[in-house]
Structure 1
Amino acid sequence: MSEAEDILFGCEGGVATVTLNRPQALNAFTLDMYRRFDPMLRGWAEDPAIKAVLIRGAGERAFCAGGDVRAIYEAGRGISGDHSLTAAFFREEYELIRRIHRYPKPYVAIIDGITMGGGAGVSVNGAYRVATERTMLAMPETGIGLFPDVGATRFLNLCPGRIGRYLGLSGVRVGAADARYCRFATHYVPRERVPALIAALIGSGGVEETLAGFAADPGPAPIRARQPAIDRCFAGDTVEAILDALQRKAAGGGPDAEWAGETHAGLLTKSPTSLKITLRQLITGRDLAIEEALALEYRLTQHVMAGHDFYEGVRAVLVDKDQQPRWDPPTLAGVDEAMVDSYFAPLGEAELRFD
């Protein structure tokens, strides 16, 4: 498949359609895909014949599993010979996400299947997000030495209580009911009805009314029942305090003890540096507008790309697949406040700025 076929565009009945067409790569975004998508969005915004934009993923498994982090890894390691990619990828991705968030026309994402990282970026930041029973959404970046980006500074903070901290630090996956409760999805539609929904959107005059007419109840959200424990355990303003609270909950017995023990153990497998960056990001970014959130995230990415853990995490998870990352520093105790401060240092002229 050529790069030109990796993202497909169409228009029918006044609805512009976008299909992420890399099913063999779970529809992960490449830089070329971002570069082709952005001008189309700009054109549709100005075209009076276009009433809405709809984005979906090809294949049976995923809406979009994120950005092509392997390409970023190869660029940063000098394997691909294109060192500029580590800056260009995030800059152009974030510019697209800002456009989606501020889009002047209805933007509908069908988040059917795996939706991670950059996939959440091009969906959760839009106006309408339709989950199905196959939706599986996560922000797993702390497991590869990164942090939840693509606007997650903002949208994780919109989750009820401390759930955003829990999901951002742990990378736990959520299904459709949880996605609705966490405000990642605006509607739930059974997968078998999605083709009819799309046909109705194309033939309808009103996007909101059509979505409401197809929306169904996804059932109870498991994370809602867990929220009291999440809120207590993730209330601390340091990663160490969160781990201590989880450990106490695990030792105390009760219905949440097993969850607390598993969550504690899971956090200990993540990059200690990523955990500390992520918690500060979510605390300090609580009230940021999308432009401010993306500018902060861009700053963080450029410092992370100059470090160790991202490359080690991608190596362990995606390249060698030994699932045994060797983080540096290897423990939370080795990540002091000055080190965390360094990731938030301004980039000067290289800062991401929006027109």
Structure 2
Amino acid sequence: MSDSVLFEERPCESGKKVGIARLNAPRSLNSLSRTMIGLLYEKLIDWEHDDAIACVWLEGEGERAFCAGGDIVEMYRSMTPVGERNPFIEDYFAAEYRLDHLLHVYEKPVICWGHGVVMGGGMGLMQGASQRVVTEKSKLAMPEITIGLYPDVGGSWFLNRAPGKTGLFAGLTGVHLNAADALFMGLADVFIHADRREAVLDSLALLSLSGDETLDTALVHRCLREAASPSLPASNVREHFDQINQACDRATLPEVAEALRRLKDGGEWLHRAASTFERGCAQTAWLVWEQLRRAKHLSIAEVFRLEWCMSVQCAMHPDFREGVRALLIEKDGSPQFRYAQVNEVPREYVEGFFDSPAPTHPLADL
């Protein structure tokens, strides 16, 4: 069996090295298993303390995906009865968020080659990188509305920083974003054609990387800019920015829900987004609404501590397992969520997802 994460150290002319980490589970679109999370975290810690490593490059094996998310099937198989704590789930999310947090505070440049599908847990990795690259094949999304989870892995942080109400819109609709959308929303830094990958790596190897984080980050940034392509695809988010803001800039979630339903008459892209919201999990919609409100002024460490509580609570409630069953296990496509509409969800039910399920928090030390 091949290693689920592959590591390489590519020499640079300066005597330093580029550490390359490749997620190696292409059959599952490089979905993150618990083992992969552990391997990646350990190597990133090693590289951060290795003076020979000047920068890190993250990518996925194959042409289809950087990373399609966490290994949801692995989580589903570990599910305990509703209301009971789940040691595997608690450990999985703690390890994943610790990895994501490490990337956000990493003391060396981190380049994420976000080619192909970048969703869920893949977004968590990418958004922590200092240099986020998208290509003509990039497809970004936080589609948790369809399975009864919510945009975790730091979504409370990066969706809150998107322009206008586009972050809320992306969380509520799970809409797919192309490279231009990602750049417009601040979810990517540079657009490079996929066939330039080797050339970019070769150019990195020629840089005078020194181990000084500030200088090396500037050199890497300039290298990527020089490889960038000006020929971006059209951005649906930019094109529909005013409509998105008008729909989502409301005082209450039920008002937003009604406005989103009216967007179904606004063309194919908006119709698809609004339809996904309409079919999605009402519980998730409330979690998105509340997480963005509560996390607006939190630090990145506080965000991950908040999300760990939310994620573990989701695993203790019925909708998450029901969504996974319907979309990924039995694949009948008809999840029977507990509440059909956002106005049916009791306030106290939503509040419970923000309670810590454990007496001590596994991310208290972040």
Residues 249, 167 of structure 1: CA spacing in aligned structure 2 closer, same or farther, 3 A cutoff?
closer
User: Would you say the 8 A contact 1:247–1:260 is kept in 2?
Assistant: no
User: Would you say the 8 A contact 1:154–1:287 is kept in 2?
Assistant: no
1:309-338 deviation line (CA, Å, top 9, x unaligned): 010000001000111000012332331111
* Residue of structure 2 in register with 1:74 after alignment: 77
The count of corresponding residues between Structure 1 and Structure 2 is: 346
* Residue of structure 2 in register with 1:56 after alignment: 59
Q: How does 1:82-121 map to 2 (within 5 A)?
A: 83-121=86-124
Aligned residues: CA RMSD: 1.7
Secondary structure of 1:39's counterpart equals helix
1:10 to 4, 8, 11: 8
Residues 248, 201 of structure 1: CA spacing in aligned structure 2 closer, same or farther, 3 A cutoff?
same
Residues 247, 171 of structure 1: CA spacing in aligned structure 2 closer, same or farther, 3 A cutoff?
closer
Secondary structure of 1:158's counterpart equals coil
Greater mean alpha carbon deviation, residues 153-162 or residues 341-350: 341-350
Aligned-pair identity in percent equals: 32
Secondary structure of 1:157's counterpart equals coil
Amino acid at match of 1:56: E
Uncovered stretches (5+) of structure 2, i.e. residues with no partner:
12-16, 209-218
Residues 192, 149 of structure 1: CA spacing in aligned structure 2 closer, same or farther, 3 A cutoff?
same
**Distance in 2 separating the partners of 1:63 and 1:73:** 22
Amino acid at match of 1:52: C
Deviation at 1:222, TM superposition (A): 2.3
In the superposition, the TM-score normalised over structure 2's length comes to 0.90
* Residue of structure 1 in register with 2:155 after alignment: 152
Residues 23, 260 of structure 1: CA spacing in aligned structure 2 closer, same or farther, 3 A cutoff?
closer
* Residue of structure 2 in register with 1:126 after alignment: 129
**Distance in 2 separating the partners of 1:95 and 1:186:** 23
**Distance in 2 separating the partners of 1:154 and 1:47:** 29
2:224 to 182, 196, 211: 211
1:98-147 deviation line (CA, Å, top 9, x unaligned): 00000000000000000100001111121011100000000001110000
Residues 89, 250 of structure 1: CA spacing in aligned structure 2 closer, same or farther, 3 A cutoff?
closer
Uncovered stretches (5+) of structure 1, i.e. residues with no partner:
none
* Residue of structure 2 in register with 1:24 after alignment: 27
Secondary structure of 2:298's counterpart equals coil
**Distance in 2 separating the partners of 1:37 and 1:131:** 21
Larger relative CO (CA 8 A, sep 6+): 1 or 2? Answer: 2
* Residue of structure 1 in register with 2:365 after alignment: 354
Q: How does 1:1-355 map to 2 (within 5 A)?
A: 1-2=1-2, 5-13=3-11, 14-77=17-80, 83-205=86-208, 206-217=219-230, 218-248=232-262, 256=266, 261-351=271-361, 352-355=363-366
Residues 249, 26 of structure 1: CA spacing in aligned structure 2 closer, same or farther, 3 A cutoff?
closer
Secondary structure of 2:175's counterpart equals coil
